[in-house]
Amino acid sequence: MLTNLQTRDVETLIHPYTNLHAIRSTGPLVLERGKGIWVYDTEGKAYIEGMAGLWCTALGYGNEELVETAREQMLKMPFTHLFGGKSHDPAIELAEKLKEMAPMQVSKVFFGCSGSDANDTQIKLIWYYNNAIGRPLKKKIIARLKGYHGVTIASASLTGLPNNHIDFDLPLPGMLHVSCPHHYRFGLPGETEEEYATRLAAELEEMILREGPDTVAAFIAEPVGGAGGVTVPPATYYEKIQAVLTKYDVLLIADEVICGFGRLGTPFGSQAMNMKPDTMTLAKAITSAYFPVSAVLIPEKMYAAMIDESKKIGVFAHGYTYSGHPVGAAIGVKTLEIYERDKIFEKAAAKIPAFWKRLDVLRDHPLVGEVRGKGLVAGLELVADKATKRAFDVKAAVGAKATMMLQEEGLIVRNLGDTIAVCPPLVITEEEIEDLFDRMARGLDRTEALVREHALRG
Ligand SMILES: Cc1ncc(COP(=O)(O)O)c(C=O)c1O
Protein backbone atom coordinates (compact mmCIF):
# COMPACT_ATOMS: atom_id res chain seq x y z
CA MET A 1 0.00 0.00 0.00
CA LEU A 2 1.57 3.27 -1.08
CA THR A 3 1.58 6.31 1.16
CA ASN A 4 0.06 9.52 -0.06
CA LEU A 5 3.49 10.94 -0.98
CA GLN A 6 4.43 7.75 -2.80
CA THR A 7 1.19 7.85 -4.78
CA ARG A 8 1.76 11.49 -5.74
CA ASP A 9 5.29 10.51 -6.73
CA VAL A 10 4.36 7.70 -9.10
CA GLU A 11 1.64 9.83 -10.65
CA THR A 12 4.02 12.68 -11.41
CA LEU A 13 7.70 11.73 -11.62
CA ILE A 14 9.92 9.90 -14.05
CA HIS A 15 12.69 8.33 -11.98
CA PRO A 16 16.16 8.06 -13.53
CA TYR A 17 17.60 4.54 -13.60
CA THR A 18 14.44 2.92 -12.27
CA ASN A 19 12.13 0.23 -13.56
CA LEU A 20 9.26 2.58 -14.34
CA HIS A 21 6.80 -0.29 -14.33
CA ALA A 22 7.87 -1.86 -11.02
CA ILE A 23 7.99 1.41 -9.08
CA ARG A 24 4.29 1.92 -9.69
CA SER A 25 3.57 -0.86 -7.22
CA THR A 26 6.58 -0.63 -4.87
CA GLY A 27 6.68 3.17 -4.63
CA PRO A 28 9.89 5.09 -3.93
CA LEU A 29 11.84 5.51 -0.69
CA VAL A 30 11.16 9.14 0.17
CA LEU A 31 14.06 10.75 2.03
CA GLU A 32 13.55 13.94 3.93
CA ARG A 33 16.68 15.08 5.72
CA GLY A 34 20.29 14.21 6.44
CA LYS A 35 23.09 14.81 8.92
CA GLY A 36 26.66 13.55 8.64
CA ILE A 37 26.53 10.17 6.92
CA TRP A 38 22.88 9.62 7.96
CA VAL A 39 19.70 10.21 6.01
CA TYR A 40 16.14 9.90 7.29
CA ASP A 41 12.96 8.94 5.46
CA THR A 42 9.55 10.51 5.90
CA GLU A 43 8.72 7.96 8.61
CA GLY A 44 11.82 9.05 10.56
CA LYS A 45 13.78 5.84 9.90
CA ALA A 46 17.56 6.38 9.81
CA TYR A 47 19.85 4.99 7.11
CA ILE A 48 23.61 5.11 6.61
CA GLU A 49 24.06 6.70 3.19
CA GLY A 50 26.55 4.07 2.05
CA MET A 51 26.72 5.52 -1.46
CA ALA A 52 27.32 9.16 -0.52
CA GLY A 53 24.13 9.80 -2.51
CA LEU A 54 25.42 8.97 -5.98
CA TRP A 55 29.14 8.78 -5.13
CA CYS A 56 29.13 12.49 -4.43
CA THR A 57 28.32 13.82 -0.92
CA ALA A 58 31.94 13.60 0.23
CA LEU A 59 31.44 15.92 3.22
CA GLY A 60 28.18 14.27 4.22
CA TYR A 61 24.89 16.00 4.98
CA GLY A 62 24.11 19.18 6.85
CA ASN A 63 27.47 20.89 6.40
CA GLU A 64 26.68 24.32 7.75
CA GLU A 65 29.64 26.07 6.20
CA LEU A 66 28.50 25.03 2.74
CA VAL A 67 24.94 26.07 3.52
CA GLU A 68 26.11 29.46 4.80
CA THR A 69 28.33 29.95 1.76
CA ALA A 70 25.35 29.27 -0.52
CA ARG A 71 23.19 31.69 1.45
CA GLU A 72 25.74 34.48 1.38
CA GLN A 73 26.39 34.08 -2.34
CA MET A 74 22.66 33.95 -3.08
CA LEU A 75 22.13 37.20 -1.25
CA LYS A 76 25.11 38.90 -2.84
CA MET A 77 24.73 37.69 -6.42
CA PRO A 78 22.41 34.72 -7.03
CA PHE A 79 23.14 34.65 -10.71
CA THR A 80 25.45 36.12 -13.20
CA HIS A 81 27.27 34.35 -16.01
CA LEU A 82 30.45 34.02 -18.00
CA PHE A 83 28.98 34.63 -21.49
CA GLY A 84 30.12 37.49 -23.73
CA GLY A 85 33.07 38.43 -21.56
CA LYS A 86 31.28 38.75 -18.19
CA SER A 87 32.82 37.25 -15.11
CA HIS A 88 32.66 36.99 -11.34
CA ASP A 89 34.91 36.29 -8.42
CA PRO A 90 33.73 32.79 -7.38
CA ALA A 91 34.26 31.27 -10.85
CA ILE A 92 37.73 32.80 -11.12
CA GLU A 93 38.67 31.54 -7.69
CA LEU A 94 37.35 28.04 -8.26
CA ALA A 95 39.24 27.79 -11.56
CA GLU A 96 42.42 28.99 -9.85
CA LYS A 97 42.04 26.43 -7.08
CA LEU A 98 41.44 23.58 -9.51
CA LYS A 99 44.48 24.57 -11.56
CA GLU A 100 46.56 24.57 -8.42
CA MET A 101 45.30 21.18 -7.23
CA ALA A 102 45.29 19.27 -10.50
CA PRO A 103 47.98 16.61 -10.96
CA MET A 104 48.57 17.71 -14.56
CA GLN A 105 49.45 20.87 -16.40
CA VAL A 106 46.21 22.83 -16.77
CA SER A 107 45.85 26.00 -18.78
CA LYS A 108 42.15 26.77 -18.35
CA VAL A 109 38.97 25.44 -16.78
CA PHE A 110 35.55 25.16 -18.43
CA PHE A 111 32.56 24.75 -16.10
CA GLY A 112 29.35 22.81 -16.63
CA CYS A 113 26.61 21.38 -14.45
CA SER A 114 26.98 17.60 -14.71
CA GLY A 115 29.45 14.87 -15.46
CA SER A 116 27.55 14.12 -18.66
CA ASP A 117 27.70 17.64 -20.03
CA ALA A 118 31.39 17.88 -19.09
CA ASN A 119 32.15 14.75 -21.10
CA ASP A 120 30.18 16.17 -24.02
CA THR A 121 32.34 19.27 -23.72
CA GLN A 122 35.44 17.06 -23.74
CA ILE A 123 34.40 15.54 -27.05
CA LYS A 124 33.52 18.90 -28.60
CA LEU A 125 36.78 20.49 -27.47
CA ILE A 126 38.81 17.59 -28.84
CA TRP A 127 37.04 17.81 -32.19
CA TYR A 128 37.51 21.60 -32.20
CA TYR A 129 41.18 21.16 -31.33
CA ASN A 130 41.84 18.66 -34.08
CA ASN A 131 40.06 20.86 -36.63
CA ALA A 132 42.11 23.84 -35.46
CA ILE A 133 45.42 22.04 -35.93
CA GLY A 134 44.52 20.65 -39.34
CA ARG A 135 43.58 17.07 -38.44
CA PRO A 136 39.93 17.03 -39.55
CA LEU A 137 39.73 13.23 -39.65
CA LYS A 138 41.06 12.62 -36.14
CA LYS A 139 37.69 12.46 -34.36
CA LYS A 140 36.90 8.99 -33.04
CA ILE A 141 36.76 8.45 -29.31
CA ILE A 142 37.54 5.08 -27.72
CA ALA A 143 35.88 4.19 -24.44
CA ARG A 144 35.52 0.87 -22.62
CA LEU A 145 32.76 -1.65 -22.15
CA LYS A 146 31.22 -1.16 -18.69
CA GLY A 147 32.71 2.33 -18.56
CA TYR A 148 30.33 5.04 -17.37
CA HIS A 149 30.51 8.57 -18.69
CA GLY A 150 26.94 9.85 -18.49
CA VAL A 151 23.71 9.92 -20.44
CA THR A 152 23.63 12.84 -22.86
CA ILE A 153 23.72 11.67 -26.48
CA ALA A 154 27.50 11.84 -26.79
CA SER A 155 28.44 10.80 -23.26
CA ALA A 156 25.91 7.93 -23.31
CA SER A 157 27.62 6.83 -26.50
CA LEU A 158 30.88 6.63 -24.54
CA THR A 159 29.20 4.76 -21.70
CA GLY A 160 29.74 1.07 -22.35
CA LEU A 161 26.56 -0.37 -20.85
CA PRO A 162 23.91 -1.96 -23.08
CA ASN A 163 20.95 -0.42 -21.23
CA ASN A 164 22.21 3.06 -22.07
CA HIS A 165 22.16 2.22 -25.78
CA ILE A 166 19.25 -0.18 -26.33
CA ASP A 167 16.33 1.60 -28.03
CA PHE A 168 18.00 4.99 -27.57
CA ASP A 169 19.62 4.50 -31.01
CA LEU A 170 23.11 4.79 -29.54
CA PRO A 171 26.08 4.80 -29.67
CA LEU A 172 26.76 7.53 -32.21
CA PRO A 173 29.12 6.61 -35.03
CA GLY A 174 32.77 7.15 -34.17
CA MET A 175 32.32 6.20 -30.50
CA LEU A 176 34.07 2.87 -30.03
CA HIS A 177 34.55 0.46 -27.14
CA VAL A 178 37.38 -1.80 -26.09
CA SER A 179 37.16 -4.47 -23.39
CA CYS A 180 36.43 -3.78 -19.77
CA PRO A 181 39.63 -4.19 -17.73
CA HIS A 182 38.24 -6.56 -15.10
CA HIS A 183 40.47 -9.53 -14.39
CA TYR A 184 38.04 -11.57 -12.26
CA ARG A 185 35.42 -11.62 -15.02
CA PHE A 186 37.42 -11.31 -18.21
CA GLY A 187 40.94 -12.57 -17.49
CA LEU A 188 41.69 -15.94 -19.12
CA PRO A 189 42.30 -19.01 -16.95
CA GLY A 190 45.87 -18.82 -15.63
CA GLU A 191 46.44 -15.32 -17.05
CA THR A 192 48.21 -12.96 -14.62
CA GLU A 193 47.06 -9.37 -14.20
CA GLU A 194 50.15 -8.18 -16.09
CA GLU A 195 49.53 -10.56 -18.97
CA TYR A 196 45.92 -9.49 -19.08
CA ALA A 197 46.99 -5.81 -19.17
CA THR A 198 49.35 -6.61 -22.07
CA ARG A 199 46.49 -8.27 -23.94
CA LEU A 200 44.22 -5.25 -23.34
CA ALA A 201 46.88 -2.86 -24.61
CA ALA A 202 47.31 -5.03 -27.72
CA GLU A 203 43.54 -4.96 -28.27
CA LEU A 204 43.59 -1.16 -28.07
CA GLU A 205 46.48 -0.95 -30.52
CA GLU A 206 44.69 -3.29 -32.94
CA MET A 207 41.58 -1.12 -32.81
CA ILE A 208 43.57 2.06 -33.46
CA LEU A 209 45.37 0.43 -36.40
CA ARG A 210 42.14 -1.02 -37.78
CA GLU A 211 40.35 2.34 -37.58
CA GLY A 212 43.41 4.27 -38.76
CA PRO A 213 45.48 6.26 -36.24
CA ASP A 214 44.71 9.48 -38.10
CA THR A 215 41.01 8.97 -37.25
CA VAL A 216 41.35 8.27 -33.52
CA ALA A 217 41.35 11.37 -31.33
CA ALA A 218 41.03 10.26 -27.72
CA PHE A 219 40.62 7.49 -25.17
CA ILE A 220 38.44 8.06 -22.12
CA ALA A 221 38.70 6.13 -18.87
CA GLU A 222 37.61 6.33 -15.26
CA PRO A 223 40.72 5.64 -13.14
CA VAL A 224 38.64 3.02 -11.30
CA GLY A 225 35.33 2.19 -12.96
CA GLY A 226 32.28 3.14 -10.88
CA ALA A 227 28.74 2.77 -12.17
CA GLY A 228 29.69 -0.09 -14.51
CA GLY A 229 30.36 -2.29 -11.47
CA VAL A 230 33.36 -0.85 -9.57
CA THR A 231 36.10 -2.31 -11.72
CA VAL A 232 39.77 -1.85 -10.90
CA PRO A 233 42.08 -2.22 -13.91
CA PRO A 234 44.80 -4.88 -13.61
CA ALA A 235 48.35 -4.04 -12.52
CA THR A 236 50.38 -2.22 -15.24
CA TYR A 237 47.21 -1.46 -17.25
CA TYR A 238 47.58 2.31 -17.54
CA GLU A 239 51.32 2.19 -18.25
CA LYS A 240 50.67 -0.15 -21.15
CA ILE A 241 47.59 1.66 -22.43
CA GLN A 242 49.36 5.01 -22.26
CA ALA A 243 52.31 3.76 -24.28
CA VAL A 244 49.88 2.87 -27.08
CA LEU A 245 48.08 6.22 -26.87
CA THR A 246 51.36 8.14 -27.04
CA LYS A 247 52.52 6.10 -30.01
CA TYR A 248 49.47 7.11 -32.05
CA ASP A 249 49.05 10.61 -30.66
CA VAL A 250 45.73 9.84 -29.00
CA LEU A 251 44.70 12.03 -26.06
CA LEU A 252 43.84 10.50 -22.70
CA ILE A 253 40.77 11.89 -20.92
CA ALA A 254 40.56 10.94 -17.24
CA ASP A 255 36.93 10.85 -16.19
CA GLU A 256 37.42 11.68 -12.51
CA VAL A 257 33.76 12.29 -11.78
CA ILE A 258 33.77 9.63 -9.02
CA CYS A 259 37.48 9.17 -8.30
CA GLY A 260 38.32 12.87 -8.03
CA PHE A 261 38.67 14.53 -4.62
CA GLY A 262 40.05 11.92 -2.30
CA ARG A 263 37.95 8.85 -3.10
CA LEU A 264 40.84 6.49 -3.87
CA GLY A 265 43.10 7.73 -1.08
CA THR A 266 44.80 10.36 -3.25
CA PRO A 267 43.47 13.79 -4.26
CA PHE A 268 42.72 12.49 -7.78
CA GLY A 269 42.18 8.94 -8.99
CA SER A 270 44.78 9.41 -11.72
CA GLN A 271 47.45 9.62 -9.03
CA ALA A 272 46.35 6.37 -7.40
CA MET A 273 46.26 4.55 -10.73
CA ASN A 274 49.38 6.01 -12.34
CA MET A 275 47.44 7.74 -15.11
CA LYS A 276 48.92 10.71 -16.93
CA PRO A 277 45.91 12.30 -18.55
CA ASP A 278 45.87 15.16 -21.07
CA THR A 279 42.50 16.41 -19.90
CA MET A 280 40.26 15.71 -16.94
CA THR A 281 36.52 15.66 -16.21
CA LEU A 282 35.43 16.60 -12.70
CA ALA A 283 32.00 16.83 -11.04
CA LYS A 284 30.18 15.42 -7.98
CA ALA A 285 32.54 15.99 -5.00
CA ILE A 286 33.78 19.29 -6.45
CA THR A 287 30.94 20.79 -4.37
CA SER A 288 30.30 17.68 -2.26
CA ALA A 289 27.09 17.65 -4.37
CA TYR A 290 25.66 20.71 -2.63
CA PHE A 291 25.29 22.30 -6.08
CA PRO A 292 25.51 20.80 -9.58
CA VAL A 293 28.95 21.79 -10.88
CA SER A 294 31.29 20.05 -13.30
CA ALA A 295 34.60 21.08 -14.81
CA VAL A 296 36.81 20.23 -17.74
CA LEU A 297 40.52 20.84 -17.22
CA ILE A 298 42.10 21.99 -20.46
CA PRO A 299 45.82 21.78 -21.30
CA GLU A 300 47.73 24.63 -22.93
CA LYS A 301 47.96 23.06 -26.39
CA MET A 302 44.17 22.76 -26.59
CA TYR A 303 43.67 26.26 -25.28
CA ALA A 304 46.05 27.68 -27.90
CA ALA A 305 44.02 25.96 -30.61
CA MET A 306 40.78 27.29 -29.12
CA ILE A 307 42.13 30.81 -29.33
CA ASP A 308 43.00 30.30 -33.00
CA GLU A 309 39.53 28.93 -33.73
CA SER A 310 37.85 31.82 -31.89
CA LYS A 311 39.88 34.26 -33.95
CA LYS A 312 38.81 32.52 -37.15
CA ILE A 313 35.13 31.97 -36.30
CA GLY A 314 34.64 35.09 -34.19
CA VAL A 315 33.40 33.37 -31.05
CA PHE A 316 33.87 30.23 -28.96
CA ALA A 317 30.26 29.10 -29.34
CA HIS A 318 29.92 26.69 -26.48
CA GLY A 319 28.70 27.12 -22.91
CA TYR A 320 25.72 26.63 -20.65
CA THR A 321 23.62 29.28 -18.95
CA TYR A 322 24.88 27.86 -15.66
CA SER A 323 28.56 27.41 -16.65
CA GLY A 324 30.40 28.75 -13.60
CA HIS A 325 27.15 29.56 -11.71
CA PRO A 326 28.24 31.89 -8.89
CA VAL A 327 26.48 29.93 -6.15
CA GLY A 328 27.94 26.63 -7.35
CA ALA A 329 31.37 28.19 -7.77
CA ALA A 330 31.28 29.71 -4.27
CA ILE A 331 30.28 26.35 -2.81
CA GLY A 332 33.05 24.70 -4.84
CA VAL A 333 35.63 27.12 -3.46
CA LYS A 334 34.43 26.48 0.08
CA THR A 335 34.37 22.71 -0.45
CA LEU A 336 37.97 22.70 -1.69
CA GLU A 337 38.95 24.96 1.19
CA ILE A 338 37.40 22.49 3.68
CA TYR A 339 39.13 19.55 1.98
CA GLU A 340 42.46 21.31 2.45
CA ARG A 341 41.93 22.93 5.85
CA ASP A 342 40.47 19.83 7.51
CA LYS A 343 42.82 17.43 5.73
CA ILE A 344 39.80 15.49 4.49
CA PHE A 345 41.75 13.48 1.90
CA GLU A 346 44.47 12.48 4.35
CA LYS A 347 41.93 11.56 7.00
CA ALA A 348 39.91 9.56 4.47
CA ALA A 349 43.08 7.72 3.44
CA ALA A 350 43.76 6.85 7.07
CA LYS A 351 40.35 5.13 7.26
CA ILE A 352 40.99 2.86 4.27
CA PRO A 353 42.48 -0.01 6.35
CA ALA A 354 39.40 -0.12 8.62
CA PHE A 355 37.13 -0.13 5.55
CA TRP A 356 39.05 -2.98 3.90
CA LYS A 357 39.39 -5.00 7.08
CA ARG A 358 35.63 -5.43 7.09
CA LEU A 359 35.44 -5.93 3.32
CA ASP A 360 38.08 -8.65 3.49
CA VAL A 361 35.91 -10.62 5.91
CA LEU A 362 33.03 -10.50 3.43
CA ARG A 363 35.16 -12.30 0.82
CA ASP A 364 34.22 -15.51 2.68
CA HIS A 365 30.50 -14.86 2.54
CA PRO A 366 28.71 -17.58 0.55
CA LEU A 367 27.13 -15.00 -1.78
CA VAL A 368 30.23 -12.95 -2.52
CA GLY A 369 32.31 -13.94 -5.55
CA GLU A 370 34.64 -10.97 -5.54
CA VAL A 371 35.25 -7.91 -3.40
CA ARG A 372 37.01 -5.22 -5.38
CA GLY A 373 37.71 -1.52 -5.26
CA LYS A 374 40.23 0.96 -4.00
CA GLY A 375 40.33 3.52 -1.23
CA LEU A 376 36.84 4.20 0.05
CA VAL A 377 34.93 2.67 -2.85
CA ALA A 378 34.16 -1.00 -3.24
CA GLY A 379 31.99 -3.45 -5.11
CA LEU A 380 30.84 -6.85 -3.88
CA GLU A 381 29.89 -9.13 -6.74
CA LEU A 382 27.24 -11.64 -5.72
CA VAL A 383 27.47 -14.98 -7.52
CA ALA A 384 25.51 -18.22 -7.62
CA ASP A 385 28.70 -20.29 -7.35
CA LYS A 386 31.89 -18.95 -5.79
CA ALA A 387 34.10 -21.73 -7.16
CA THR A 388 33.09 -21.33 -10.81
CA LYS A 389 32.16 -17.60 -10.60
CA ARG A 390 28.80 -18.52 -12.11
CA ALA A 391 26.49 -15.51 -12.05
CA PHE A 392 22.87 -15.61 -10.91
CA ASP A 393 20.16 -15.62 -13.54
CA VAL A 394 19.49 -11.96 -14.32
CA LYS A 395 15.77 -12.56 -13.78
CA ALA A 396 16.41 -13.63 -10.17
CA ALA A 397 17.49 -10.00 -9.54
CA VAL A 398 19.57 -11.03 -6.54
CA GLY A 399 21.47 -7.72 -6.46
CA ALA A 400 18.22 -5.76 -6.31
CA LYS A 401 16.87 -8.06 -3.62
CA ALA A 402 20.06 -7.60 -1.57
CA THR A 403 19.75 -3.82 -1.88
CA MET A 404 16.21 -4.00 -0.50
CA MET A 405 17.35 -6.21 2.41
CA LEU A 406 20.18 -3.80 3.16
CA GLN A 407 17.75 -0.92 3.02
CA GLU A 408 15.61 -2.68 5.60
CA GLU A 409 18.77 -2.94 7.72
CA GLY A 410 19.13 0.84 7.46
CA LEU A 411 21.92 0.88 4.89
CA ILE A 412 21.60 2.54 1.51
CA VAL A 413 23.82 1.05 -1.17
CA ARG A 414 23.37 0.57 -4.91
CA ASN A 415 23.28 -2.60 -6.91
CA LEU A 416 24.90 -2.46 -10.31
CA GLY A 417 23.43 -5.68 -11.61
CA ASP A 418 24.54 -8.17 -8.96
CA THR A 419 27.42 -6.01 -7.73
CA ILE A 420 26.70 -4.10 -4.53
CA ALA A 421 28.53 -0.78 -4.56
CA VAL A 422 29.64 0.97 -1.37
CA CYS A 423 31.01 4.50 -1.46
CA PRO A 424 30.33 6.30 1.84
CA PRO A 425 30.94 9.99 2.49
CA LEU A 426 34.67 10.61 3.07
CA VAL A 427 33.82 11.96 6.51
CA ILE A 428 32.60 8.58 7.77
CA THR A 429 34.23 7.67 11.10
CA GLU A 430 35.82 4.31 11.91
CA GLU A 431 32.96 3.59 14.28
CA GLU A 432 30.46 4.30 11.52
CA ILE A 433 32.43 2.04 9.17
CA GLU A 434 31.90 -0.78 11.69
CA ASP A 435 28.19 0.03 11.86
CA LEU A 436 27.94 0.11 8.06
CA PHE A 437 29.49 -3.34 7.69
CA ASP A 438 27.48 -4.83 10.57
CA ARG A 439 24.38 -3.83 8.62
CA MET A 440 25.93 -5.10 5.39
CA ALA A 441 26.71 -8.51 6.92
CA ARG A 442 23.18 -8.85 8.33
CA GLY A 443 21.60 -7.88 5.01
CA LEU A 444 23.78 -10.30 3.05
CA ASP A 445 22.96 -13.12 5.48
CA ARG A 446 19.28 -12.43 4.98
CA THR A 447 19.77 -12.36 1.22
CA GLU A 448 21.57 -15.71 1.39
CA ALA A 449 18.63 -17.13 3.35
CA LEU A 450 16.23 -15.81 0.69
CA VAL A 451 18.37 -17.26 -2.12
CA ARG A 452 18.22 -20.67 -0.43
CA GLU A 453 14.53 -20.44 0.39
CA HIS A 454 13.60 -19.67 -3.21
CA ALA A 455 16.32 -21.86 -4.76
CA LEU A 456 17.63 -18.88 -6.72
CA ARG A 457 20.94 -20.60 -7.49
CA GLY A 458 19.08 -22.57 -10.13
C1 LIG B 1 32.62 8.53 -14.12
C2 LIG B 1 31.34 9.27 -14.41
N3 LIG B 1 31.30 10.09 -15.45
C4 LIG B 1 30.20 10.79 -15.74
C5 LIG B 1 29.06 10.68 -14.98
C6 LIG B 1 27.84 11.44 -15.33
O7 LIG B 1 27.61 12.43 -14.41
P8 LIG B 1 26.16 13.08 -14.26
O9 LIG B 1 25.24 12.05 -13.74
O10 LIG B 1 26.41 14.23 -13.33
O11 LIG B 1 25.77 13.55 -15.63
C12 LIG B 1 29.08 9.83 -13.86
C13 LIG B 1 27.88 9.69 -13.02
O14 LIG B 1 27.81 8.86 -12.13
C15 LIG B 1 30.24 9.09 -13.58
O16 LIG B 1 30.28 8.25 -12.56
Out of 316, 341, 366, a domain closes at: 341
Closest-CA residue, ligand 1 atom 4, reads 149
| 109 in any annotated domain | yes
Residue 43 pLDDT more than 90?
yes
Structural domain containing residue 224:
66-341
Q: What is the CATH classification number for the domain harbouring 442?
A: 3.90.1150.10
- My answer on whether 104 and 228 are in the same domain is yes
Which ligand 1 atom is at minimum distance from the Cα of 255? 1
- My answer on whether 39 and 109 are in the same domain is no
Q: Express as a percent the part of the chain with pLDDT over 70.
A: 100
Which ligand 1 atom is at minimum distance from the Cα of 54? 14
Which ligand 1 atom is at minimum distance from the Cα of 259? 1
Q: Report the separation in Å between the CA atom of 313 and the middle of ligand 1, taken as the mean of its atom positions.
A: 31
Closest-CA residue, ligand 1 atom 7, reads 115
- Condensed to tens digits (0 to 9), the pLDDT of residues 109-130 reads 999 999 999 999 999 999 999 9
Q: Report the separation in Å between the CA atom of 363 and the middle of ligand 1, taken as the mean of its atom positions.
A: 28
CB of 258 shorter than 6 A to ligand 1:
yes
Handedness of CA 175, 179, 182, 185 (dihedral sign): positive
Q: Express as a percent the part of the chain with pLDDT over 90.
A: 99
CB of 226 shorter than 6 A to ligand 1:
yes
Best mutation site among 15, 54, 56, 116 for ligand 1, i.e. most ligand atoms within 8 A of its Cβ?
116
What pLDDT does 418 receive?
98
- My answer on whether 192 and 86 are in the same domain is yes
* Per-residue pLDDT band at 162 (split at 50, 70, 90): very high
- Condensed to tens digits (0 to 9), the pLDDT of residues 278-337 reads 999 999 999 999 999 999 999 999 999 999 999 999 999 999 999 999 999 999 999 999
Out of 341, 376, 404, a domain closes at: 341
- My answer on whether 246 and 276 are in the same domain is yes
Region 141-164: mean pLDDT is 98
Which ligand 1 atom is at minimum distance from the Cα of 55? 14
- My answer on whether 248 and 352 are in the same domain is no
Contacts by residues 64-70 (CB-CB < 8 Å, ≥ 24 positions apart): 65/334, 65/338, 66/287, 66/288, 66/290, 66/331, 66/334, 66/335, 66/338, 67/290, 69/330, 69/331, 69/333, 69/334, 70/290, 70/291, 70/327, 70/330, 70/331
Per-position DSSP letters for 314-377, written without gaps between them:
SS-----TTTT-HHHHHHHHHHHHHHHHTTHHHHHHHTHHHHHHHHHHHTTSTTEEEEEEETTE
Out of 312, 341, 370, a domain closes at: 341
CB of 149 shorter than 6 A to ligand 1:
yes
- My answer on whether 273 and 150 are in the same domain is yes
Which ligand 1 atom is at minimum distance from the Cα of 116? 11
- My answer on whether 51 and 182 are in the same domain is no
- My answer on whether 56 and 74 are in the same domain is no
| 178 in any annotated domain | yes
- My answer on whether 141 and 257 are in the same domain is yes
Which ligand 1 atom is at minimum distance from the Cα of 117? 11
For the chain, give the mean pLDDT: 97
- My answer on whether 161 and 307 are in the same domain is yes
Buried b (16+ CB within 10 A) or exposed e, 39-50: bebeeeeebbbb
CB of 112 shorter than 6 A to ligand 1:
no
Residue 458 pLDDT more than 90?
no
Q: What is the CATH classification number for the domain harbouring 233?
A: 3.40.640.10
Region 382-396: mean pLDDT is 97
| 402 in any annotated domain | yes
What pLDDT does 266 receive?
98
| 130 in any annotated domain | yes
pTM: 0.98
The rounded distance, in Å, linking the Cα atoms of 153 and 227 is 18
| 458 in any annotated domain | no
CB of 255 shorter than 6 A to ligand 1:
yes
**What spatial distance separates the first Cα and last Cα of the chain, rounded to whole Å?**
31
Q: Look at the chain and report how many structural domains it folds into.
A: 2
- My answer on whether 312 and 403 are in the same domain is no
What pLDDT does 315 receive?
93
The rounded distance, in Å, linking the Cα atoms of 451 and 391 is 13
Region 366-386: mean pLDDT is 98
* Per-residue pLDDT band at 249 (split at 50, 70, 90): very high
- My answer on whether 251 and 153 are in the same domain is yes
